[in-house]
Structure 1
Amino acid sequence: MSTALESTGFLLGVASWLIIGAALGNDYWKVSSVSGGVIISNRQYENLWHSCAEGSTGVAECRDFDSLLALPGHVQASRALMIIALLLGLVSMIISLLGLKCIKIGSATEETKGKITVTGGILFILAGLCVMVCCSWYGYRVVQDFNNPLFGGVRFELGTGLFMGWGGATLAILGGALLSCACKRAKSNKPKAGYYAAGQPKTIYSQAKSEPEARAYV
C-alpha cells in the first residue's frame, strides 16, 4: 500500500511541476474585462513577463516589460516565487525518485530511503505553497483593482494562468503529502540497544553480571 501511495504522490508531483511550468509561460494571467455596455474592439492581457493587445482581427502585439525595478512589488515577488517553485519541484522529483520503495539503488536501507522520500515530499509541499502564495497574491491585486471605483486604468479579470497555477499548487501539495507517508519507513524498527528481542527482556548489564557468577559455579 505504501508503494502505491508513494508512486501516486511522485506522479502527482511530476504533473504539478509540468502544470506550474505551463502556468508560468501562459500569457493570460489577467484579461481585460468585457463587462459593461461599451463594446471594445480589442482585448488586452498580461502575465508576469509582458503585456499584449489583440485586435478584432485576432492579431496580437506583445511588449515586454521594460524595467524589472519599475514593476509593481507583487509582480516581482510572483516571478521569484514561481521560479523558486520550479527549482524546488525539480529537486523534489530527483530526490523522490531516488527514495521510492520500488527503486533499488546500491545498498541503501529502507530507513534511509524513507527519509529521502519524506524530504522530497516536503520540498514538493514547499513548492506548492510558493505557487499558491504567488497566484493568490496576484489574483488579489487583480480583484482589488477591479473593484476599486477610483481606479482609472483598464479593468482586468482573472486569467487562465492563475487557475493553472492554483491547480498545479494543489497537486504539488497533495503529491508531497502522499510522499510524506514514507515517514513510517523512516522510523527504525531495530530493538533498543539495552534489550534483547528474543526471550525475556534483559539488559546488557544484567547479562554481563550473570556470566561471571555462572563461571564461578563451574
Structure 2
Amino acid sequence: MPRSAPPFTPTPPVPYSSPTVPVPCPLLELLSLAFLLCSWLLALSCCLSPWMERHLELVELEKVHVSLWSGCVVQDSVFSCKPHSSLLSLPLPLLLGRGLLLGALMSGAAAIAVTVPGLRLVHMPKCFGVAASGALKRRLRGCGAVLCVLSAVLEACPVSWAGYVTIRRYQEDTILEMIPRWDLGIGLFLGWTSAAVYMLTVGALWSSCREEGEVTAQRGRSMVQRDGARQEYV
C-alpha cells in the first residue's frame, strides 16, 4: 500500500521584535523644577532685600539700607527699620520695581503651579485620559517655560534700571566727594541671579519637551513597523 503523506503543519511565524525605544530620562524635569523653585526664592529674597545702601563716613560703622518696602539704619549690628511713609516719596526705580517684582512673583508662582502637573513623575487625574496625558504634560511644561521667560523679563528690567541709575549717580562729578553716595545693594544681585536661573529653567524645560517628543515619534514609527510586520505574517 502506498504510504500516505504526513499532514502539513505550517510553521508558526516568528514574532516581531520591536526595536528598543529609549525611555526619556526625568533628570531634566527634576533639574528644571529645582531651578524654578530656586529662582522663585531668589526673586522673593530680591523683593525683601535692600536695593541701595550708603556708608556714612561721619558716623563710624553706620550704614543706610533702602529696600522696596522700608529703610534701615545699621549701627553696631543693630537694625533700626522704618517703612516708607508714602509711595510718592520713593524713587522711580523703586516705585516701578514694586509693581514689576510683584508681577514676577505671581508669574513665577503660576509657572510652578503649571510645571509640577506637567512632570511625568506626577500622575495626571483620570479625567484627562491616558492617551492625552503625554501631550498634555508637554503643553503644561511649555506654558511653564513661557511663564518663566515672563518672570525673568519682569524681574530683570527694574533691577537693571535701578542698578544703572545708582551707578550713574555714583559717578557724577557734580557731587562733592565728602557727601556719601549710594552703592549697589544685595537685592540687585539677587534679582540678576534669579533672572539668569529662570532662563536656565526655560532651557531645561524646552530640552525635556524636545526629548520626550523625539521618543514619542520613535515609538510611533516602531508601532507602524510592528503593524506592518503583523500584516505580512497573516
Q: Give 2:136's aligned residue.
A: 112
What is the aligned partner in structure 2 of residue 210 from structure 1? none
- Residues of 2 paired with 1:112 and 1:120: CA distance? 12
Q: Counterparts of 1:77-116 in structure 2 under 5 Å? A: 77-106=96-125, 107=129, 108-116=132-140
Percent identity of the aligned residues? 24
Which region of structure 1 is more displaced relative to structure 2, 38-47 or 136-145? 38-47
The match for 1:74 is 93
Equivalent residue for 2:52, pick from 16, 26, 30: 30
Select 1:53's aligned residue among 68, 73, 79. 73
Q: Aligned partners of 2:78, 2:44: CA distance in 1, in Å?
A: 25
Could you tell which deviates more after superposition, 182-191 or 100-109?
182-191
Aligned residue in 2 for 1:121: 145
The residue identity in structure 2 corresponding to 1:45 is: H
Deviates more, 1:145-154 or 1:121-130: 145-154
1:174 maps to 2:174: no
**Higher alpha-carbon deviation: 168-177 or 93-102:** 168-177
Quote how far apart the aligned CAs of 1:151 are.
4.0
Deviation at 1:123, TM superposition (A): 0.6
Q: 1:7 to 1:58 in 2, by over 3 A?
A: closer
Alpha-carbon separation, structure 2, partners of 1:173 and 1:17: 12
Structure 2 match to 1:208: none
CA contact (8 A) 2:124 2:133 kept: no
**Cα displacement string for residues 115-158 of structure 1 (whole angstroms, at most 9, x for unaligned residues):** 11111111112112211112111111111111112247641111
Which 5+ residue runs of structure 2 have no aligned equivalent?
1-23, 229-234
Paired with 2:196 and 2:104, the residues of 1 have a C-alpha distance of 13
Show the counterpart of 1:16.
39
Larger Rg over CA atoms: 2
**Hey, what's the Cα distance between the residues in 2 that align with 1:126 and 1:2?**
27
2:165 corresponds in structure 1 to 141
- Residue type matched to 1:29 in 2? W
Q: Is the 8 A contact 1:129 1:173 kept in 2?
A: no
* 2:195 partner letter: A
Q: 2 CA distance for matches of 1:17 and 1:58?
A: 29
Unaligned runs of 5+ in 1: 200-218
* Aligned residue pairs, count: 190
CA-CA distance at 1:114 after TM superposition: 0.3
Structure 1 vs Structure 2 CA RMSD: 2.5
1:164 aligns with 2:190: yes
TM-score by length of 1: 0.77
Moved more, 149-158 or 127-136: 149-158
